[in-house]
Amino acid sequence: MPTETFEFQVEARQLLQLMIHSVYSNKDVFLRELVSNASDALDKLRLAKLKDDTLDADIRDLHIDIDIDKDARTLTVRDNGIGMSYDEVGQLIGTIANSGTAQFIEELKEAQDRAGAEGLIGQFGVGFYSGFMVADEVTLVTRRAGEQQGTRWSSRGEGTYTLETVQDAPQGTTVTLHLKPADPENQLHDYTSPWKIREIVKRYSDFITWPIRMAPESSPGEGDEAPQPETLNSMKALWARPRDEVSDDEYHELYKHIGHDWRDPLETIRLQAEGTFEYQALLFLPAHAPHDLFTRDFQRGVQLYVKRVFIMDDCEALLPPYLRFVKGVVDAQDLSLNVSREILQQDRHIRMMQRRLTKKVLSSVKDMMTNDQDKYATFWREFGAVLKEGLVTDTENRDAILAVASFASTHDDSEPTTLGDYVERMKDDQEDIYFITGESRQAVENSPHMEAFRAKGIEVLLLTDPVDEVWVDTVGAYEGKTLRSVAKGEIDLDAKGDDQADGEKEKQAEEYAGLLRWMREQLGDDIKEVRLSSRLTVSPACVVSDAQDLTPALENMYRAMGQ
Q: Which does 264 bind (CB under 5 to 8 A by kind): Mg ion, ligand ADP, none?
A: none
Considering only 8, 15, 35, 37, the residue that binds Mg ion (CB under 5 A) is 37
How many whole angstroms separate alpha carbon 532 and alpha carbon 391? 35
The answer to whether residue 173 forms part of the interface with Mg ion (CB under 5 A) is no
The answer to whether residue 171 forms part of the interface with Mg ion (CB under 5 A) is no
Q: How far is CA 244 from CA 204, 239, 253, 255, 415, in A?
A: 19, 12, 17, 18, 36
Q: Which is nearer to Mg ion, 171 or 173 (CB)?
A: 173
Q: Which is nearer to Mg ion, 37 or 437 (CB)?
A: 37
Q: Which is nearer to Mg ion, 36 or 85 (CB)?
A: 36
Q: Which does 79 bind (CB under 5 to 8 A by kind): Mg ion, ligand ADP, none?
A: ligand ADP
User: Which residues contact ligand ADP by CB under 6 A?
Assistant: 33, 37-38, 41, 79, 81-84, 92-93, 98, 125, 127-128, 173, 260
Residue 350 burial by CB count (10 A; 0-12/13-18/19+): exposed, middle or buried?
buried
* Contact in structure between 486 and 436 (CB atoms under 8 Å): yes
Find the shortest distance in angstroms from Cβ 475 to ligand ADP.
Answer: 39
Query: 373-387 and 348-371 are packed helices; what angle lies between their axes, rounded to 10 degrees?
Result: 140
Element spanning 29, H or E: helix 29-51
- Contacts of range 187-192, beta carbons closer than 8 Å, 24 or more positions apart: 189/27, 189/134, 191/31, 191/68, 191/75, 191/134, 192/68, 192/69, 192/70, 192/73, 192/75
Q: How far is CA 337 from CA 16, 145, 342, 491, in A?
A: 40, 20, 14, 60
Find the shortest distance in angstroms from Cβ 413 to ligand ADP.
Answer: 40
Considering only 83, 94, 100, 127, the residue that binds Mg ion (CB under 5 A) is 127
Q: Which does 74 bind (CB under 5 to 8 A by kind): ligand ADP, Mg ion, none?
A: none
How many whole angstroms separate alpha carbon 33 and alpha carbon 39? 10
Find the shortest distance in angstroms from Cβ 143 to ligand ADP.
Answer: 10
Q: Which is nearer to ligand ADP, 92 or 405 (CB)?
A: 92
How many whole angstroms separate alpha carbon 141 and alpha carbon 86? 10
Which residue of the chain is nearest ligand ADP when measured via CB? 127
Q: Which does 82 bind (CB under 5 to 8 A by kind): ligand ADP, Mg ion, none?
A: ligand ADP
Q: Which is nearer to Mg ion, 37 or 551 (CB)?
A: 37
Cβ–Cβ contacts within 10 Å for residue 429, how many? 9
- Kindly state the number of chain residues that form the binding site for Mg ion, as judged by CB under 5 A: 3
* Contact in structure between 105 and 15 (CB atoms under 8 Å): yes
How many whole angstroms separate alpha carbon 127 and alpha carbon 124? 9
Q: Which is nearer to ligand ADP, 82 or 433 (CB)?
A: 82
Q: Which is nearer to Mg ion, 36 or 171 (CB)?
A: 36
Q: Which does 92 bind (CB under 5 to 8 A by kind): Mg ion, ligand ADP, none?
A: ligand ADP
Find the shortest distance in angstroms from Cβ 151 to ligand ADP.
Answer: 11
Find the shortest distance in angstroms from Cβ 79 to ligand ADP.
Answer: 5
Q: Taking contact as CB under 5 A, which single stretch among the options 29-37, 332-340, 402-410, 425-433 is the one that binds Mg ion? A: 29-37
Cβ–Cβ contacts within 10 Å for residue 394, how many? 18
Binding positions for Mg ion, rule: CB under 5 A:
36-37, 127
